[in-house]
Amino acid sequence: MIKPFGSDQLNPLYVSDDAQRAALLEEAASLPQLTVNSAAAANAVMLAGGYFNPLTGYMNLADSLSVAKDMQTTDGLFWPVPIVNLTDDTSIKAGGRIALRDPNVAGQPVLAIMDVVAVEAVSDAEIDIMAENIFGTLDGNHPGVATFKGLGRTMLSGPIQVLNFSYFKNEFPETFRTAVEIRDEIASRGWEKVVAFQTRNPMHRAHEELCRMAMEDLKADGILIHMLLGKLKAGDIPADVRDAAIRKMVELYFPANTVMITGYGFDMLYAGPREAVLHAVFRQNCGCTHLIVGRDHAGVGDYYGGFDAQVIFDRVPTGALQLEIYKADHTAYSKKLNRVVMMKDAPDHSKDDFVLLSGTKVREMLGQGIAPPPEFSRPEVAKILSDYYQALDNAG
C-alpha cells in the first residue's frame, strides 16, 4: 500500500489507550482551559485521525508564514495550508499544558490536551499575508477569508494529544472514518489502486460518471467517495442530506465492492488550489493512490480560474507526493452521444448539445418539487434533495 505522507508509518494523535485517555481527562480538570474556535477544533480532529500526518500539533508563526508563502515549513516539510490554533484569549502562557475545549459539542467537553511551546502575537499584516497566500484574495466576501481573519490574533503552537473526535463519530457513525480506519478497510478489501473523490455536495450524474471514468482509465480497484462533514457556508447542503443522497446513488448505480463511502471531520476552507493540495496530502494518508481534481476544485464564487487547482500541482516538489492527480475537465451529459462526457473530449459540441444546469436553477427546481432531467440527476437522488429543499421552503 502507498506510504503515508511524510513518514513510513501513520501517526494519528488520538489517544487510543483507554487508561491513558482517562488519565489525561483527569489531568485536564486541573489545567488552564481554552475553548477553541471551530477551525482549531477541526484541525485537532484531522490530526487525531492521522489525516495531517506527519504533523504533531499546531504550527508556530514562522512555520505558518512559511507554509502560506512557500508551501513548506521552516525545516523543509512540504505542506500547503497552515494548521493553526488562533485565539483571542491572551491569558495562556508558554511552557505549560492546557485543556482544549470543543466549541461544537454541548457542554464544551475537553477535546485535546496541548503542550504550549509558544504563544505569539500575530499582526493584522501577518494575518493578511497568510490569508492572501492561502485564499488568493483578501476580499471579505470570500467565506474562507472572512473565517480566517476572524479567528484571533494570538497563535498557540505545540503538540497535542486528542481525546475524542468531536461530534463526528456520534452524528455520522456510518460515515465518519479516520485515515487509519480507511487504510485498514482498503487493505481488508485487497485494493491497491484507489481513486479518491472529494465532495462537499451531493453527486449528480456528471460526478458519478467522472468516478467511473477515473476508475476505468486508471484500472483502479475502487473509489473512495470522501465527503466533508464539518462546517460549510450558508446555502450549502447539510452533510446528512448529502450522505443520504450519495448512499442512494452508490447503492443503485455502482457494482458491489467498488465504492467506499466515507467522511472526514473538517470545516470547508474554500481555498481552491491550496485546499486541493491539502486534499491530496490527506488522501495519501488514507491510502489512496490517486485524487480526482476537476474544474474549480474546492472553489467558491469566481475567485479561482477553472483549472487553477490542477495547475498548482506543478509547484509540488518532485517526490513530495506519492499520490497522483487525475485531472478532469468539466463533465456534462451530451445530448448528441447520450452519455456523460468530459467537455474537452467533445470538440464538435456546442453549449446547446450539453445538459447544463446552474446550481441555482437546480435548487429552484428541487424547491418547487420539479425533478431535474434524468440526464442531470438520478431520480432517486433528486427525490432526497427535493424533500430537503421543500422542507426548507415550508419552514421559511
Residues noted as catalytic: 200-201
Euclidean distance between CA atoms 24 and 98, whole angstroms? 11
The count of other CB atoms within 10 Å of the CB of residue 218 is 16
Which runs of E-coded beta strand occur in 317-380?
324-327, 331-334, 339-342, 354-355
**Which has the closest alpha carbon to 214: 263, 283, 267, 154?**
283
Amino acid sitting at position 335:
K
Euclidean distance between CA atoms 6 and 300, whole angstroms? 29
Q: Considering only the C-alpha atoms of the chain, give the largest distance between any 2 of them, rounded to a whole number of Å.
A: 70
> Hey, what's the cell of 378?
438520478
**Which has the closest alpha carbon to 118: 162, 148, 74, 54?**
74
> Hey, what's the cell of 186?
482498503
Residue with cell 518532485: 318
Sheet holding 222-228, edge to edge: 259-264, 222-228, 194-199, 290-293, 324-327
Euclidean distance between CA atoms 283 and 281, whole angstroms? 6
Give the β-pairing of 154-162 and 110-115.
antiparallel
Say whether the peptide bond before residue 202 is cis (omega within 30 degrees of 0): no
- Residue 158 contacts by C-beta under 8 Å, 6 or more apart in sequence? 57, 58, 114, 115, 116, 117, 118
For 166, what's the count of Cα atoms within 13 Å in the CB-facing half-sphere? Answer: 31
